């Protein structure tokens, strides 16, 4: 389980994360929802050690992460798909994927299961990442994260700017990772219908605070759509 307790973060004089406490159960897909600018991306960056935390604690499977550098968190089994994908445009698809295996000892190539999850990547493995469509780049970014063989996959708005058919493919793949590979997934999302369709658990953030949480099946009954409406 991922456990976050009383997490605080500031940018300059702005209090961005305000005593954030939440849990992410193992082998489940947990969605974190909220409007733009409420602190969701900052929270993910804190989880990965990209930005430091002012106070509070982060633990994964009872191992404290708060003081660890990013590479050590990856070694503990965390992987991160950032907003905007951040693939390497001049590297080929295969080279981008192999970059994701840098934390592993002597990777021998791209495992077959990556190409089974994302067949388009196999078809385009010699094409440069910058020549792929937005949806294909998103699949590449997820595949690259999976190359580190993570136990916890963290994704920041993977549906942003993606065509509906690819969004459905991504949703099916995330459920497959949870149900067949027992992976734990934490997904930041604004697209309510997509989140509701795949979530086991949910949390809602507003103004840097967690304001609601519950079972994914209860999102409609709990009025979550109204909480994230602009």
On whether the CB atoms of residues 153 and 186 are closer than 8 A, the answer is yes
What is the tally of structural domains in the chain?
Answer: 1
State the Cα–Cα distance between residues 143 and 158, nearest whole angstrom: 12
Reading the block at residue 197, the tokens are: 């369709």
User: Is the model's pLDDT at 11 over the cut of 90?
Assistant: no
| Domain of residue 138, CATH code | 3.40.50.300
Reading the block at residue 51, the tokens are: 């930005």
Res 106: pLDDT: 61
Q: What is the average pLDDT across 34-56?
A: 94
Q: Which domain holds residue 88?
A: 2-228
User: Which of the residue ranges 2-11, 22-31, 105-114, 150-159 would you say has the lowest mean pLDDT?
Assistant: 105-114
Residues 6+ apart with CB under 8 A from 194: 159, 167, 171
User: Is the model's pLDDT at 108 over the cut of 80?
Assistant: no
Res 218: pLDDT: 97
State the Cα–Cα distance between residues 129 and 139, nearest whole angstrom: 11
Res 76: pLDDT: 94
pLDDT in tens, 121-166: 999 999 999 999 999 999 999 999 999 999 999 999 999 888 888 9
């Amino acid at each position: 389980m991922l456990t976050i307790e009383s997490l605080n973060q500031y940018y300059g004089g702005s209090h961005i994360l305000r005593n954030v406490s939440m849990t992410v159960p193992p082998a489940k897909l947990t969605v974190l929802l909220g409007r733009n600018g409420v602190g969701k991306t900052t929270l993910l960056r804190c989880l990965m050690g990209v930005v430091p935390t002012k106070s509070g604690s982060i633990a994964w499977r009872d191992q404290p992460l708060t003081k660890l550098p990013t590479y050590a968190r990856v070694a503990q089994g965390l992987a991160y798909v950032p907003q905007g994908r951040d693939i390497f445009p001049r590297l080929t698809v295969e080279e981008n994927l192999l970059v994701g295996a840098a934390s592993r000892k002597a990777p021998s190539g791209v495992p077959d299961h990556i190409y089974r999850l994302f067949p388009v990547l196999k078809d385009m493995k010699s094409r440069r990442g910058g020549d792929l469509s937005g949806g294909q780049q998103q699949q590449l970014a997820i595949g690259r994260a999976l190359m580190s063989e993570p136990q916890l996959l963290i994704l920041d708005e993977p549906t942003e700017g993606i065509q509906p058919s690819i969004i459905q493919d991504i949703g099916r793949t995330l459920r497959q990772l949870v149900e067949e590979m027992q992976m734990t997934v934490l997904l930041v999302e604004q697209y309510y219908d997509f989140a509701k369709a795949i979530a086991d658990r949910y949390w809602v953030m507003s103004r840097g605070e967690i304001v609601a949480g519950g079972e994914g099946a209860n999102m409609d009954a709990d009025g979550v759509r109204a909480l994230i409406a602009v």
